[in-house]
Structure 1
């Protein structure tokens, strides 16, 4: 999923924190909800302006961020 179509940063919106495009809903808020065990359906109920693809974009963004930040694994001798 290409999350760049749905996630934006604007210094004038939420202090530049990444948000769902056209909203003030931060990725931090949505990731916290997911980590608390909320389902996509729960989140959509709480934030009716969002779509399931918006939430999936947040997950994809987080996954890409982790991939970029993880150090390369050490190779253990045989």
Structure 2
């Protein structure tokens, strides 16, 4: 499972940027955390509202964008 259902886009949240589960956690911010020196466990400890599956979803969303596909193509 790639967890892409956890990525939501709502014009009322974060100016319509892709976010995690409708929260004010843009995918790009989660990707910044993942690319820092923090481990996944440290990120989850510092931000308990996030779940491991959210981190995986953000990585899979980035992969999807780089592949040139869209979420609609996977449905």
TM-score (norm 1): 0.77
Local SS of the residue matching 2:37: coil
Q: Please name the residue that 1:47 is paired with.
A: 47
Larger RCO (alpha carbons 8 Å, 6+ apart): 2
Alignment of 1:1-78 (within 5 A): 1-68=1-68
In structure 2, the partner of 1:76 is: none
Q: Secondary structure in 2 aligned to 1:49?
A: coil
Aligned residues: 69
Supply the RMSD in Å over aligned alpha carbons. Answer: 1.6
Report the Cα distance in structure 1 between the residues aligned to 2:68 and 2:35, rounded to whole angstroms: 20
Q: Which has the higher helix share?
A: 2
Q: Secondary structure at the match of 2:68?
A: helix
**Which ranges in structure 1 are unaligned for 5 or more consecutive residues?**
70-78
Give TM-score scaled by structure 2 length: 0.80
Structure with bigger gyration radius: 1
User: Which secondary structure does the structure 2 equivalent of 1:38 belong to?
Assistant: coil
